[in-house]
Amino acid sequence: MDALTDVLAVADTRGTVLGCTGFAVPWGILFDQGEKSATGPVMHVVADGTCCLRAGGHLPQELGPGDVVLMPQGGPHILSDHPESRAVSLQRAKDRNAALMQTHTGEVTTVLSLGFQLDLMAPGRVMDALPEPMVLRADTIARHPQLSLLVQLMRTEARAPGAGAGLVLPRLLDSLLALVLRAWLAECPGQIAPSWLKGLTDPGVAQVLNDLHAHPADGWTLRTMSLSAGLARATFARRFADLVGETPKAYLNRWRLELAAARICAGTTTIEAAGAAFGYSSAAAFARAFRREFGIAPSDLRRTLVNDAPEPAIAGQHRASPAPDPAIAPPAFLSSPG
């Protein structure tokens, strides 16, 4: 298993269709971490028409058909028909648009908006190295056949959903995220900060990362890693640290702890067994390393998961519906480019 596949798999990456709507002018949507619709990375695929992207510190960018935007950290941003259009929450925009579409006869802009959730102890390490926003233009996507085909399929499905539409798009989301990251690695390696993702842009370091993720419990040493990379030890150690931002040993130890945390969270093993599986000689040694890395003891993590488990629903009992969101004007940080 290669490193990108492994990280996304261990993160239990889950995509959700936030909205797939054809908008009539005027319209504007604010995507914010405070919204339930955006709690992790957010992606948009422009199926038809044009729109404007506003994100903090950047000039407004016009998006066209087939363009894809990824907000790796899910930071606040606005999609709208015009740089000065008022923005509201996604649900408010949908409600307002439904009324406009009853009499609208002109062109519409169809946008497919997607949200992703990453379940890792330190999910930021997956996406924080990437710039925000990431914009892949349609002509760039055309150079990547698999991504181009998938985007075209999603655009077609967004424009004219048929029977089973509620299943088709959600099943494609994980593949879309992986292919967008692959294309970005190929097209814009210089815009990636030192991280495991940047390490994938170098053939030797990428080979080691793939091997470490395929066999994380093996007795890796600097010598065996350098042999995997096909480089002298000193050259490999220097190149790995420059690209990944930490030593090979530090990266491996941290990833082993992430894997152990995933097993603990899944309830598939004991704390002692999780530590032993990755070379810790005792539960105490494992707990110290775990706390040092994540700021919480593995026993406390398991206890938190048990306490946070949802209570079973009581027959006849219903939760109160949340109050509708108020209209949201564009926040100050989006009003002028930095």
**What CATH number is given to the structural domain containing 107?**
2.60.120.10
Structural domain total, the chain? 2
Q: Distance (Å, rounded) from C-alpha 35 to C-alpha 43?
A: 15
Give yes or no: residues 205 and 140 share one domain. Answer: no
The backbone torsions φ and ψ at residue 61, rounded to the nearest 5 degrees and listed phi first, read -120, 130
Six-digit token string for 97:
């648009």
Tell me whether residue 291 is in a domain.
yes
Tell me whether residue 325 is in a domain.
no
Give yes or no: residues 179 and 265 share one domain. Answer: no
Q: What's the number of CA atoms in the CB half-sphere (13 Å) around residue 152?
A: 9
Show which of 189, 219, 241 is a domain's final residue. 189
The backbone torsions φ and ψ at residue 216, rounded to the nearest 5 degrees and listed phi first, read -70, -25
85 secondary structure, DSSP code: -
Residue 267: give its domain's CATH number: 1.10.10.60
Give yes or no: residues 120 and 242 share one domain. Answer: no
Report residue 336's pLDDT band, with 50, 70 and 90 as the boundaries: very low
Give yes or no: residues 44 and 85 share one domain. Answer: yes
Enumerate the β-bridge partners of residue 126: none
Q: Which of 51, 71, 72 is closest to 61 using CA atoms?
A: 51
**β 28-31/14-23 pair status:** unpaired
Tell me whether residue 333 is in a domain.
no
pLDDT in tens, 271-328: 999 999 988 888 899 999 999 988 999 888 878 765 655 544 444 443 433 433 433 3
Q: Is 58 helix (H, G, I), strand (E, B) or coil?
A: coil
Show which of 163, 189, 215 is a domain's final residue. 189
Give yes or no: residues 201 and 290 share one domain. Answer: yes
Going across the sheet that includes 14-23, the strands are 14-23, 109-117, 42-48, 68-71, 134-136
Give yes or no: residues 128 and 76 share one domain. Answer: yes
Question: What is the domain extent for residue 217?
Answer: 197-307
Tell me whether residue 319 is in a domain.
no
42 secondary structure, DSSP code: E
* Cβ-contact 298, 290 below 8 angstroms: yes
pLDDT in tens, 241-271: 999 999 999 999 999 999 999 888 888 888 9
Give yes or no: residues 68 and 98 share one domain. Answer: yes
Tell me whether residue 87 is in a domain.
yes
> Mean pLDDT over all residues of the chain?
85
* Cβ-contact 199, 243 below 8 angstroms: yes
Of the chain, the percentage scoring pLDDT greater than 70 comes to 86
